[in-house]
Amino acid sequence: MPGFELFGAEEQKEVQDVLDNGVLMRYGFDPMRKGHHKALELERDLADRMQSKYAQVVSSGTAALTVALASAGIGSGDEVIMPTFTFVASFEAILSVGAIPILCDIDDTLTLDPRAVKECITDKTKAVMPVHMCGSMADLSALKNICDTHNLVLLEDACQAIGATYAGKPLGSYGDLGCFSFDYVKTVTCGEGGGIITNSEIYADRAHKYQDHGHDHIGSDRGAETHPFLGYNYRLSELHAAVGIAQLRKLDDVLAIQEKNYSILRNALSNIPEVTFRKVPDTGIESYAFLSIFLPTEDLARNTHKALGAHGVDACFYWYDNNWHYYKKWDHLIAQKSLSKLSQEIQTGLQQNNRSFDPSDVWMGRTISCLIKLNWTEEEVTERASKMVEAIKSVLTKSKSVL
């Protein structure tokens, strides 16, 4: 999955352009740039690749979510529905604009369960934020119908699924806004960075201002620009953007490699009746960044995860016990451990999350996800598949012998 596996002359050339002109900031200093505007170029390329009218690059995936939420007018006291399985950045971004993250159960897509979403909606709900974890997506058609019915914003967190599609559209482009992460271990990396896409001129106009202290970017004198509204600093540097330009050009090649390696592993595991696979919604095509499997029980999943490691199969994750990606270990959110005082609205709103999420536990307790790497040879992937089959069968055999 990680784009850093394919660093080469392309990235070096783009970065050297920036170093040669010496302008590391995306705004101003036009006479020195020699025609190079890397952040702007990356935005154009991203919008084109994601079949969207507008794109805005920012300093991180977290910043992308924050700017997207603010651009949609979501703020103090508003509720945003998000899944129990995601990265902590999802709720951090919601909190950063003064809104309240409302945790919601997942289903066998490992993303938001539309039925659970309906039950979470209140008169304070302003947005639904599906998180397309591990390269695949939510049932976006069902979620869009819910959002249309209740006049809610559909914000796609596609930070882990760039390149996947739904209903023939790139993930991120189906909802009102879509967000990507370009950090070091993402499919497309800038080292650090993120992106927002939208077809809304209003959201796009707000985003480019908000991410740069509210600057209107009118005219050629940055010091004379006005500030239509408050903003913050989420700018992406020219150096980071330069890396992203070269990386985005490689996306289709990366997806092809991931699909090839994924398919070898999945075909091997398909011969084990007890192993089932994450559901990909109809019309969806995943990015093949991870292979996610279900074991029949939590105990079998735990033991299988250990066995995979013992058989030399690395980069496999048992999310149920993960500190960063599953609600059970988000004590700092549930207990409201903040360096600064949270508003009374947030303190009260967060109490809604002090409950059990049994449906999520059932799915996550049985899930193992294995990262798909780009630099494996076909021989290495085939050997890995054999080791995975051996590890899983050893656990299943032992379980049957106990019974």
Token code pair at residue 391: 């590890």
Strand partners, 157: 131, 179
Strand partners, 55: 197
Tell me whether residue 186 is one of the annotated catalytic residues. yes
- Calculate the CA 140 to chain-centre distance: 15
Cβ contact 253:264 at 8 Å: no
Q: Which one is catalytic: 126, 144, 186, 250?
A: 186
- How crowded is residue 398: how many other Cβ atoms within 10 Å of its Cβ? 12
Cβ contact 264:377 at 8 Å: no
Q: With 0-12 CB in 10 A as exposed, 13-18 as middle and 19+ as buried, what is 304?
A: buried
Cβ contact 319:364 at 8 Å: yes
Strand partners, 293: 277, 368
Start-to-end Cα distance in the chain: 39
Query: What whole-number distance in Å separates Cα of residue 78 and Cα of residue 99?
Result: 5
Fill in the DSSP letter of residue 330. -
Query: What whole-number distance in Å separates Cα of residue 171 and Cα of residue 323?
Result: 26
Q: Which are the catalytic amino acids? A: 186
